[in-house]
């Protein structure tokens, strides 16, 4: 693999020369430009893996040049801003425009190398993520023409170019994250990262570092908020964050700054926040589990995402969409869906919502062929992974590694709980003992995964 190619844009010859020597000693290929005009010519002739851009230059300054690149389309490479007279406002503006980071002059060698290494790694991860998204295709795009669903899409589209916080509320499995990604893709931040924070999955003892990052001398680790710079931060189940963390997050969003754990000076924060919850947030506030400060910050534009049973006319479209997507991705023939089967699907209450329908479509795509029959779908609609007379087996679990982590995890959890529920003879009390889960949480998990207790024994 060839060494990364770096472009330095700075009007001071000594800085260009010094940075060139340092980076070439580190194995990088380096070119430099004294002003915006030279930089335009070099970028037109060659592709660079990263750019070091000075802010204060005669003629077109660094911020103006960055705006120029953004106006022309996506930044082709990470841009690290440099300045000896930086302010928080300048740093915020640079990151808002898409700059990866901001470092002050005189430039500390260790910080420069760490920042550059992380910028290149972030670019590699972004390219890998795009490749995976292309493989998955449109599987997780929002689909539907019902009035209830198109009203949500219309509202989100009007908000796409705004940076106001949005709170998506709706039952588990309704596709809130898919809508958030769709909104991100239509926004001015679409070329920036989309970072998901699943509050319930962040261990309390590691939560502060996971969200805000850490700093120990020159050893800097970016947290999830910092990884979302210039893009969108998706906060899932916000009430599951601890109270202290909620307060710290609220302060960071209010000030548009983050202070890493162990850090001494704050870093600029430029993210658009989309929060989501399937819980009764008013009850969570009343119980003291959700702080008012954070709730009112995120509840600027509340949007209710309808349950699948509230948009039953979309089921036919969703089934066809999932069937074609799984057929293309998993290289299996598409199934035929007769009217009798579609009518039966429209009658189902879909406790697991779109997530449950997607899982059913995938199962039928993988395990059958030709026309779908009522005999095939009835066991699945009642929470059984296979035929009614066959207990789910632990060695039947298939992990689809092309799925996003949450979808793969849901598939495993569903298969695991179905197997244990069968072993427990349909008793939720025994299932709680076997799985080591508290019963209230277990009931919620079963509901979220679309498992019908009565039909799964």
User: DSSP states of 352-364 as a string?
Assistant: THHHHHHHHHHHH
Rounded to two decimals, the pTM is 0.60
The encoded tokens of residue 122 equal 């972030």
- 310-448 is a CATH 1.20.200.10 domain: no
- Selected from 3.20.20.100, 1.10.10.10, 3.40.50.300, 3.40.190.10, the CATH number assigned to the domain covering 142-304 reads 3.40.50.300
Q: Which residues contact 141 (CB under 8 A, 6 or more apart)?
A: 178, 182
CB atoms within 10 A of CB 91: 25
Residue ranges, CATH 1.10.8.60, the chain? 310-448
Can you tell me whether residue 342 is helix, strand or coil? helix
Q: Strand locations in 227-305, DSSP E? A: 232-236, 257-258, 267-268, 272-277, 301-304
Chain position carrying tokens 């979302």:
228
Maximal C-alpha separation, the chain: 78
Q: Which residues contact 190 (CB under 8 A, 6 or more apart)?
A: 184
The encoded tokens of residue 19 equal 């940075």
Q: Assign a CATH topology to domain 5-133.
A: Rossmann fold (3.40.50)
Total number of residues shown for the chain: 457
Residue ranges, CATH 3.40.50.300, the chain? 142-304
Integer Cα distance of 75 and 82 in angstroms = 17
Chain position carrying tokens 């995402």:
305
Tens of pLDDT along the chain (457 residues) come to 688 999 999 999 999 999 999 999 999 999 999 999 999 999 988 889 999 999 989 889 999 999 888 877 767 789 999 987 766 777 778 887 888 888 888 888 888 999 999 889 878 776 665 554 544 445 567 899 999 999 999 999 999 988 899 999 999 999 999 999 999 989 988 888 888 888 877 666 678 888 898 888 777 788 888 888 889 999 999 888 888 889 999 999 999 998 888 888 888 888 999 999 999 999 999 999 999 999 999 999 999 999 999 999 999 999 999 998 888 877 888 999 999 999 999 999 998 899 999 989 888 888 888 899 988 888 878 755 433 333 334 444 455 555 566 666 777 887 788 878 877 777 777 788 788 887 767 877 887 777 766 544 4
Q: Which residues contact 364 (CB under 8 A, 6 or more apart)?
A: 323, 335, 372, 376, 377, 380
Q: Please confirm whether the linkage preceding 106 is cis (ω < 30° from 0).
A: yes
Smallest Cα–Cα separation from 145: which of 136, 154, 157, 137? 154
Residue ranges, CATH 3.40.50.2300, the chain? 5-133
């Amino acid at each position: 693999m060839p060494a990364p190619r770096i472009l330095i844009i700075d009007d001071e010859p000594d800085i260009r020369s010094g940075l060139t020597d340092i980076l070439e000693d580190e194995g990088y290929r380096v070119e430099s430009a004294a002003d915006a005009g030279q930089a335009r010519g070099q970028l037109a002739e060659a592709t660079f893996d990263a750019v070091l851009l000075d802010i204060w230059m005669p003629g077109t300054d660094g911020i103006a040049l960055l705006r120029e690149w953004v106006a022309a389309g996506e930044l082709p490479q990470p841009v690290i801003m440099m300045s000896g007279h930086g302010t928080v406002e300048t740093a915020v503006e640079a990151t808002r425009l898409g700059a990866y980071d901001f470092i002050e002059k005189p430039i500390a060698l260790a910080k420069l190398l760490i920042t550059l290494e992380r910028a290149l790694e972030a670019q590699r991860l972004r390219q890998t993520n795009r490749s995976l998204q292309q493989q998955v295709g449109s599987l997780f795009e929002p689909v539907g023409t019902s009035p209830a669903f198109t009203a949500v899409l219309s509202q989100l589209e009007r908000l796409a170019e705004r940076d106001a916080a949005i709170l998506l509320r709706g039952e588990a499995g309704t596709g809130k994250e898919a809508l958030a990604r769709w909104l991100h893709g239509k926004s001015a931040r679409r070329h920036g990262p989309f970072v998901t924070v699943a509050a319930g999955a962040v261990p309390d003892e590691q939560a502060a570092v996971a969200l805000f990052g850490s700093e120990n001398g020159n050893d800097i680790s970016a947290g999830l908020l910092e990884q979302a710079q210039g893009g969108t931060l998706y906060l899932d189940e916000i009430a599951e964050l601890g109270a202290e963390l909620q307060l710290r997050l609220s302060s960071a969003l209010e000030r548009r700054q983050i202070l890493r754990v162990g850090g001494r000076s704050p870093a600029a924060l430029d993210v658009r926040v989309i929060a989501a919850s399937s819980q009764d947030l008013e009850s969570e506030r009343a119980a003291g589990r959700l702080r008012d400060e954070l709730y009112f910050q995120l509840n600027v534009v509340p949007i209710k995402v309808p349950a699948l049973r509230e948009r039953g006319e979309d089921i036919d479209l969703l089934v066809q969409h999932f069937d074609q997507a799984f057929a293309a991705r998993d290289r299996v023939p598409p199934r035929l869906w007769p009217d009798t089967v579609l009518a039966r699907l429209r009658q189902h209450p879909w406790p697991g919502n779109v997530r449950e329908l997607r899982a059913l479509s995938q199962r039928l795509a993988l395990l059958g062929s030709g026309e779908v029959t009522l005999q095939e779908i009835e066991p699945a609609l009642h929470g059984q992974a296979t035929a009614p007379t066959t207990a789910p087996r632990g060695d039947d679990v298939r992990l689809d590694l092309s799925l996003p982590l949450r979808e793969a995890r849901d598939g495993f959890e569903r298969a695991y709980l179905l197997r244990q529920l069968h072993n427990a003879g349909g008793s939720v009390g025994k299932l709680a003992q076997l799985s080591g889960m508290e019963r209230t949480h277990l009931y919620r998990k079963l509901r979220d995964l679309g498992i019908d207790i009565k039909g799964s024994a």
